[in-house]
């Protein structure tokens, strides 16, 4: 064990102090067959050999820079300008330290303040924080706000909300002794059924639009029936869609949440991402996490501080309403930089590109024999397709054509094993979409599909 820093003499001194003769004596109670010699580890490699090995393993992966992907379901492959990485990688920002000391943190605090301003403008809400861990966490924290505000004990959630967010929410509420009621929906909410199902025991109703399957929900109607029952309305949105769709503030949502991943944050195998949360006036004091505010110093100069800190655990201890300890300001900064580069017009243009590409793909896929759109409601950048075979088989076939398919909805609902959720972004060219359509057209229901080399490598424990 040449990497140990201790000399033989030092090891002998330690063994003597412990009262044993050798290192083997320390493991005398371990069966001999479990300690029969050194581990079977190959000898070391030179730096050049290691680089060659790692590059070879990397080449076995699917690279989304060269492979078209139509995965969505909450994480999307968007273009990220080089300036985003250049700015957030600066030493002034590349830290998780919370900027409590305003006198030495003006740059970080201003970046947080600008982020909050952008999110408030996009969502049409009054106040945003900065920020939460992810969308699912934001949904759960929004429910905590609603329960504390209304003093009610039940939460209603539509099944169009992302299944993983619903699972996180169920865990949060169960641990606190609150009740979760799910409202069934085929592809789009039945407003009348939701209205009939809620009463004055509900603290909030949660809806997602576009929902998990891609359909745009009747959010204004859902907000109205929630408010008639005295419940708050929590709106979950893909923030990029708000470049062309009505923002939550326009249909009187009380709390708006979402995932900021489309803004400057790569897929990164699922995280870290960014949880967005913004509220109407009157709920700001119940917001979890960091809030930066603008002020003036003793000389009248503009400055920035962390505000409403009485909610935080470092001040109120066990009575705090916020216990978001990890600072996700780096993810929030990435979103702020990306949004500042896009601007209002760029945000609208990017959203429109996603919309147009998705609708072009939907029109073409609907023409393929055996394939059909699963619903006829309006959609933004993704939609569910019903295939002649299972979605898992479709995805295996697409991998043989070097195409990453969509989300298999059968893993969330066995009755939808033939439904595939396909997402489209500005990075999917027309030729990418045409190749997808051609591949789906070549899929024969009675033809067995051999796993791609990627899947073979995965199932054998090789690199992915």
CATH 3.40.640.10 in the chain: give the residue spans. 82-339
What values do phi and psi take at 215, rounded to 5?
A: -75, 145
Token pair of 280 as six digits: 């109407």
Task: Name the residue among 220, 215, 216 with its Cα closest to residue 233.
Answer: 220
Which fold, 344-459?
3.90.1150
Residue 259: alpha-carbon gap to chain centroid: 5
pLDDT for 96: 64
SS percent in the chain: helix, strand, coil, step 5: 45, 15, 40
pTM listed for this prediction? 0.85
Contact 310, 277 (CB under 8 A): no
pLDDT for 462: 36
Helix (H, G, I), strand (E, B) or coil at 382: strand
pLDDT for 458: 37
pLDDT for 3: 61
* Own/partner pairs, 171-174, CB within 8 angstroms, 24+ separation: 171/140, 172/140, 172/143, 172/144, 173/140, 173/143
Q: What is d(CA 178, CA 150) in angstroms, rounded to the nearest whole number?
A: 13
Beta bridge partners of 383: 422
Token pair of 145 as six digits: 């706000």
Bridging pattern class, strands 292-296 and 302-306: antiparallel
CATH 3.90.1150.10 in the chain: give the residue spans. 344-459
pLDDT for 464: 30
pLDDT for 42: 84
Q: Has domain 82-339 been given CATH number 3.30.360.10?
A: no
Tens of pLDDT along the chain (464 residues) come to 456 688 889 989 999 999 998 888 888 888 887 877 777 788 889 999 999 999 999 888 888 888 999 999 999 999 999 999 999 999 888 776 777 788 888 998 999 999 999 999 999 999 999 889 899 999 999 999 999 999 999 999 999 999 999 999 999 999 899 999 999 999 999 999 999 999 999 999 999 999 999 999 999 999 999 999 999 999 999 999 999 999 999 999 999 999 999 999 999 988 899 999 999 999 998 998 889 999 999 999 999 998 887 777 777 777 776 666 555 788 999 999 999 999 999 999 999 999 999 999 999 999 999 999 999 999 999 999 999 999 999 999 999 999 999 999 999 999 999 999 999 999 999 999 999 999 999 986 655 445 544 444 333 333 33
Is cis: bond before 210, omega within 30 of 0? yes
Q: What is d(CA 369, CA 371) in angstroms, rounded to the nearest whole number?
A: 6
């Amino acid at each position: 064990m040449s990497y140990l820093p201790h000399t033989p003499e030092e090891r002998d001194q330690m063994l003597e102090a412990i009262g044993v003769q050798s290192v083997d004596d320390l493991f005398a109670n371990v069966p001999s067959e479990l300690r029969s010699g050194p581990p079977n580890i190959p000898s070391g490699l030179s730096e050049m050999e290691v680089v060659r090995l790692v590059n070879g393993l990397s080449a076995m992966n699917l690279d989304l820079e060269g492979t078209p992907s139509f995965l969505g379901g909450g994480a999307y492959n968007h273009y990220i300008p080089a300036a985003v990485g250049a700015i957030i990688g600066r030493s002034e920002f590349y830290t998780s330290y919370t900027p409590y000391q305003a006198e030495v943190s003006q740059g970080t605090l201003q970046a947080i303040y600008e982020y909050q301003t952008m999110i408030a403008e996009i969502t049409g809400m009054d106040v945003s924080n900065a920020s939460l861990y992810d969308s699912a966490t934001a949904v759960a924290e929004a429910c905590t706000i609603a329960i504390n505000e209304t003093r009610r004990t039940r939460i209603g959630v539509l099944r169009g909300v992302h299944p993983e967010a619903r699972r996180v929410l169920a865990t949060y509420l169960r641990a606190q002794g609150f009740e979760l009621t799910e409202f069934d929906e085929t592809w789009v909410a039945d407003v009348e059924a939701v209205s009939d199902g809620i009463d004055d025991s509900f603290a909030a109703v949660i809806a997602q639009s576009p929902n998990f399957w891609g359909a745009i929900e009747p959010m204004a109607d859902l907000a109205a029936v929630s408010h008639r029952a005295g419940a708050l309305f929590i709106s979950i949105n893909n923030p990029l869609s708000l470049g062309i769709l009505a923002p939550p503030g326009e249909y009187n949502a009380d709390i708006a949440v979402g995932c900021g991943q489309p803004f400057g944050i790569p897929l990164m195998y699922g995280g870290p991402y960014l949880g967005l949360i913004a509220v109407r006036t009157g709920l700001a004091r119940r917001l979890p996490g960091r809030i930066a505010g603008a002020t003036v110093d003793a000389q009248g100069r503009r400055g920035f501080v962390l505000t409403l800190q009485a909610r935080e655990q470092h001040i109120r201890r066990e009575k705090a309403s916020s216990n978001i300890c990890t600072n996700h300001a780096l993810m929030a900064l990435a979103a702020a930089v990306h949004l500042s580069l896009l601007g209002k017009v760029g945000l609208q243009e990017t959203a429109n590109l996603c919309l147009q590409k998705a609708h072009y793909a939907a029109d073409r896929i609907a023409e393929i024999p055996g394939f059909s759109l699963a619903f006829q409601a309006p959609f933004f950048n993704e939609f569910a397709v019903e295939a002649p075979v299972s979605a898992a088989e479709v995805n295996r076939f697409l991998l043989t054509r070097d195409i990453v398919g969509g989300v298999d909805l059968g893993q969330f609902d066995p009755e939808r094993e033939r439904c595939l959720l396909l997402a489209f972004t500005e990075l999917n060219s027309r030729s990418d979409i045409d190749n997808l359509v051609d591949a789906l057209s070549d899929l024969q229901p009675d033809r067995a599909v051999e796993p791609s080399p990627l899947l073979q490598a995965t199932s054998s424990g090789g690199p992915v």
